[in-house]
Chains A and B, each alone.
Chain A
Amino acid sequence: MSPSEPLLQIHELDARYGPIQALRQVSLHIDAGEIVTLIGANGAGKSTLLMSLFGDPQPAGGWIRYQGHDITGLPTHEIAKRGIAQAPEGRRIFAAMSVEENLLMGAIPVGMDHMDADLIKVFELFPRLKERRNQRAGTLSGGEQQMLAIGRALMSRPRLLLLDEPSLGLAPLMVQRIFATIREIRDSGATIFLVEQNAHHALKLAQRGHVLVNGEIRLSGTGEELLADPEVRRAYLGGRG
């Protein structure tokens, strides 16, 4: 990997669900250590982009390079083993298992060597999860479940963390807390690709952002640029432009 090459590069990616084209020529890159956000309305293709990064659906065109290697078309579990972790949309925790077991599941790609140390780290990041470690994960509140999903993803020591709408369905106070934690995770050295509908919070947090409309990238820029952009303000921030 040459020093100039980004951690993740997506080049002219196409994705389809049958006859429906969900992504059109999407290109973006993420450098090590930054937070990049992708904002867009419902159905714009945000989650599809994350999922096709993970090989499901397989990209119909274009390529994805990660750490200098082509990972286009690899099976999902292979991609996860290369140090990309995801806190999927809707959290998808294992409801019948205990909080701790959920976290242990996250450690599977890296093996059990660092498990205890990583578990302590996650519990430091989310003291709430430590309190509830022996509780059934399904009995957690929405915000706690989101913490668990992020914590579970962190257990695999990812270089790149994909977060799919972490603010979905959470109370405003909880949203602030989650975003503060995301900043903390970035500060500890991880790279984060944040997919959000909550444009205001996401753009304030991110170095760079992209706006996805109908499967195409409409706008790109730094977080401040996009926050100030009249089109973004009108469409996603409820401003009058």
Chain B
Amino acid sequence: MPPVAAASSTTRVHWSLVFRQAVLEATAAFALALLLFGPIVGLVLDGYQVRNELQRPLLIAAIIAAGRFLVTLAMHAPTGQAALERFNARRRQPGVLVVNASESDRQRWWLLAIVAVSLTLPFLASKYWLTVLIQAMIYVLLGLGLNIVVGLAGLLDLGYVAFYAVGAYGLALGAQYLDLGFWSALPLAAMLAALFGGVLGFPVLRMHGDYLAIVTLGFGEIIRLVLNNWLEFTGGPNGVSAPAPQLFGLEFTRTAKDGGVPFHEYFQISYDPLHRFIFIYLALFLIVCLMVVVVTRLRNMPVGRAWEALREDEIACRALGINHVLVKLSAFMMGAMVGGIAGVFFATYQGFINPTSFNFFESALIVAIVVLGGLGSTTGVIVAALVLTILPELLRAFADYRVFAFGVLMVLMMIWRPRGLIRPRRRAFEVKGLCR
């Protein structure tokens, strides 16, 4: 951003100076763009020969230079100045937003509207959009889970996908070996994932920052490699199938297996494969709502506050009598449990899983959701998860530019919203006997 803040106090604009600066900046942008795009776009590998297509980077650089020129001019015009000033003012707000009572009243109506829309949406959606919605909900759940570990407790976990995989395989293998149904596997897989969270959490208690990130990254890869290579147990790359959920013993199939009753026969409606997805969506939505309530409650309870305090200052926490071992472990296990639940839903919705679904890119995507959403902000994480899963579907036509758009989004975020889309909010307390 050009250094224009000082100029905002003067009312008269020295256009000759501005023009000179714009030309200078445009030239710099031109040179930089040429340097960057020259080798990438200008040299084309054609068979065994390198073709020289320098006119293309020149064109790109010219467009960029023109854009830079116009932006600089606009920034110095009074309207541009005003816009910039407004924008910076918003950024200068102190970091804590405290919600007061009237504001949370207004939020209640919004919440009601969102829940109503979310509940009617699946009945209107096509199968394709239903799967997109389910996918989005799964990422919301993953984001909420990782938000506990990264956003609240401040422990950078790059191998979160491991717990997702544990949950998914918990359902699939539980059905294969122990003959568990969806609803009995759900809590068991969640507990199994929490156990894995504890197993990972214990050795990394003493680690901070980069070291923690590397170890968790390794843990994620270990789980994936074990799933991939333990052919006899997990089926390796061939994967395993996962059972579909049932509604009180009613199956969502055209004809029931061994004596069960299909859902559509019981309610005497015609068979529709969509029923299964609608049911998964509604169950998932319920779990997400439950999770939001739990996380919001936890944040106002000692354990949740201890997570955040631990992120701020570990030594101070210990001096205040907080058992940092327990607090860290609880964050890891809680996060892992949510990841496991998301995994169970993923498996049941896919009907079939294999290790390729649980690679590092998934972990990175979930971390991106948490960071984009604003570390620690529940609303932000939900919005970011929806944006990052639904937007790529809307922009299918530009699928080739998906990673590029991702990068641009990240850069813009770092400049304008370094604390994430939505700032974490804190609740004001009511203290008895204290006048405000």
Contacts and interface: CB of A to CB of B under 8 A. Distances in A.
B308 A94 contact: yes
Contacts of B426: 97-98, 101, 134
Interface stretch (B21-29, B254-262, B320-328, B384-392): B320-328
A119 interface: yes
Interface size range of chain B in the complex: 20 to 34
Interface stretch (B103-111, B141-149, B175-183, B310-318): B310-318
A96 interface: yes
Interface string A129-164: 010001110110000000000001100100000000
Contacts of A22: none
A106 B257 CA distance: 59
B302 interface: yes
Given A105-B305, A120-B434, A134-B98, A86 B312 contact: no
Interface residues of A, number: 40
A105 B319 CA distance: 11
B434 A116 contact: yes
B95 interface: yes
A156 B321 contact: yes
A166 interface: no
A42 to B, nearest CB: 19
B294 interface: no
A93 B312 CA distance: 8
A134 B94 CA distance: 11
A92 B305 CA distance: 16
A85 B319 CA distance: 7
A108 B95 contact: no
Contact of A106 (B311, B320, B428, B431): B320
B429 A100 contact: yes
Contact of B432 (A77, A104, A116, A136): A116
Nearest to B430: A116
B433 interface: yes
B309 interface: yes
A7 B426 CA distance: 40
B124 interface: no
B186 interface: no
B96 interface: yes
Contacts of A152: 320
Nearest to B375: A96
Interface string B251-280: 000000000000000000000000000000
Contact of B321 (A96, A108, A119): A108
A105 B306 CA distance: 7
Nearest to B326: A77
A237 interface: no
A127 B313 CA distance: 25
Contacts of A95: 312
Contacts of A56: 315, 318
Given A54-B319, A77-B321, A123-B434, 4 more contacts: A94-B312, A130-B434, A134-B96, A136-B94
Nearest first, the 8 closest Cβ-Cβ pairs linking A and B are A80-B321, A109-B321, A92-B316, A94-B312, A136-B96, A76-B318, A134-B98, A77-B323
Interface of B: 94-96, 98, 302, 305-306, 308-309, 311-313, 315-324, 426, 428-429, 431-434
24 contacts: A75-B323, A76-B319, A76-B321, A77-B321, A80-B320, A80-B321, A85-B320, A88-B315, A88-B316, A92-B315, A94-B316, A96-B308, A97-B96, A97-B312, A101-B305, A104-B305, A105-B317, A106-B320, A108-B302, A108-B306, A120-B431, A123-B434, A136-B94, A138-B95
